[in-house]
């Protein structure tokens, strides 16, 4: 007797910095998406594949939907996030435990236009001393009469993660799995290495230049004993380059060390990581340059 399988694409959407990437990592049981406390850390669509028995949920981690502003990179991020909503079987909107902003309203407008089931996650509930403080936010969501389920979650403590997985699995369409059971993403190791370097940049110098940096891997060679990676860090001005390099090169060394350790854990191999910092004036404002940086 054959077992009926379920499979579908699940968009994780929300305004910047509500915890979508952290939630994805805990759903997968390993770190895939980069995280930081800076808004708009996620720039690219990233698939995270969670296969549990007969159910395969293909999560699409999207950039935070925000008021796009004047920069080409921001417009491209919003276009990527909203376009993803047209091709998924299920939408999970992530909101914060107490806040509801103009950008949440913007996300809601896009979610409302989607077909198929919708779930809302109320994130970071571990930061509440009294869980009764959640009641107004939950009532707000119920009054929308839009969502099939409301799931409070504290991803860092794995609270609510299994409940969310169950709600998602129950709403996946019937169908064959699209990926092997042991595959967790469609992205290459080269892409993931670049993202890890960018994460360390965001964490180390995000206050000084939060969204003016990009990373491109120029060489990714897998040898018998060592993976050699050459990566270029792009900034917009000479002053930003000085910040990334730091006094006597110490900041760049710290970024490289932190990134190398994470990449070694990802690849389960020793890594030689070389970083260079280059100036590409105004790259975040130019549509053509943004596309050259891999933002499609």
pLDDT on residue 7 = 97
Domains and CATH numbers, the chain: 6-171 (3.40.50.300), 189-292 (3.30.300.20)
Please, what is the end-to-end C-alpha distance for the chain in angstroms?
Answer: 44
121-171-40-207 Cα dihedral, nearest 10 degrees? 40
What pLDDT shows up at residue 264? 95
Contact call for residues 147 and 117 (beta carbons, < 8 A): no
| Residue 14 near residue 78, CB atoms below 8 Å | no
Distance CA 222, CA 210 (A): 31
* Distance from C-alpha of 32 to C-alpha of 143, rounded to nearest angstrom: 34
Helix axes 238-245, 250-267, angle to 10 degrees: 70
Report pLDDT digits (tens) over 183-221.
999 889 998 999 899 889 988 887 777 667 888 899 999
Burial of 210 (0-12, 13-18, 19+ CB in 10 A): middle
**Residue 64 pLDDT > 50:** yes
Place of tokens 């850390």: 41
- Does residue 118 surpass a pLDDT of 90? yes
Instruction: Estimate to the nearest angstrom the gap between the alpha carbon of 55 and the chain centroid.
Output: 22
Whole-model pTM: value is 0.83
Q: Which residue has the tokens 């110098």?
A: 205
Rounded to an integer, the average pLDDT of 116-123 is: 94
pLDDT in tens, 208-264: 776 678 888 999 999 988 999 999 999 988 999 999 999 999 999 999 999 999 999
């Amino acid at each position: 007797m054959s077992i009926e399988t379920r499979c579908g694409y699940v968009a994780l959407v929300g305004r910047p910095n509500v915890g979508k990437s952290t939630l994805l990592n805990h759903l997968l049981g390993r770190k895939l998406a980069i995280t930081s406390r800076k808004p708009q850390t996620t720039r690219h669509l990233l698939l995270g594949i969670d296969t549990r028995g007969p159910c395969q949920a293909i999560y699409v981690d999207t950039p935070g939907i925000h008021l796009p502003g004047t920069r080409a990179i921001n417009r491209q991020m919003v276009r990527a996030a909203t376009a993803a909503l047209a091709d998924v079987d299920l939408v999970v909107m992530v909101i914060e435990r107490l806040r509801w902003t103009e950008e949440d309203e913007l996300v809601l407008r896009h979610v409302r236009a989607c077909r198929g089931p919708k779930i809302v996650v109320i994130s970071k509930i571990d930061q509440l001393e009294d869980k009764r403080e959640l009641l107004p936010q939950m009532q707000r969501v119920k009054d929308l009469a839009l969502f099939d389920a409301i799931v409070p979650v504290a991803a860092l403590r794995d609270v609510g993660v299994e409940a969310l997985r169950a709600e998602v699995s129950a709403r996946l369409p019937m169908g064959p799995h699209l990926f092997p059971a042991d595959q967790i993403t469609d992205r290459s190791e080269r892409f993931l290495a670049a993202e890890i370097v960018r994460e360390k940049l965001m964490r180390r110098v995000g206050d000084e230049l939060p969204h003016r940096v990009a990373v491109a891997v120029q060489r990714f060679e897998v040898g018998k004993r060592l993976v050699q990676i050459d990566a270029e860090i792009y900034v917009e001005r000479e002053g930003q380059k000085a910040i990334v390099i730091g006094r006597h090169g110490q900041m760049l060394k710290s970024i490289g060390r932190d990134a190398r350790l994470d990449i070694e854990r990802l690849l389960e191999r020793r890594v030689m990581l070389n970083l260079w910092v280059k100036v590409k004036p105004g790259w975040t404002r130019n549509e053509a340059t943004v596309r050259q940086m891999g933002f499609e």
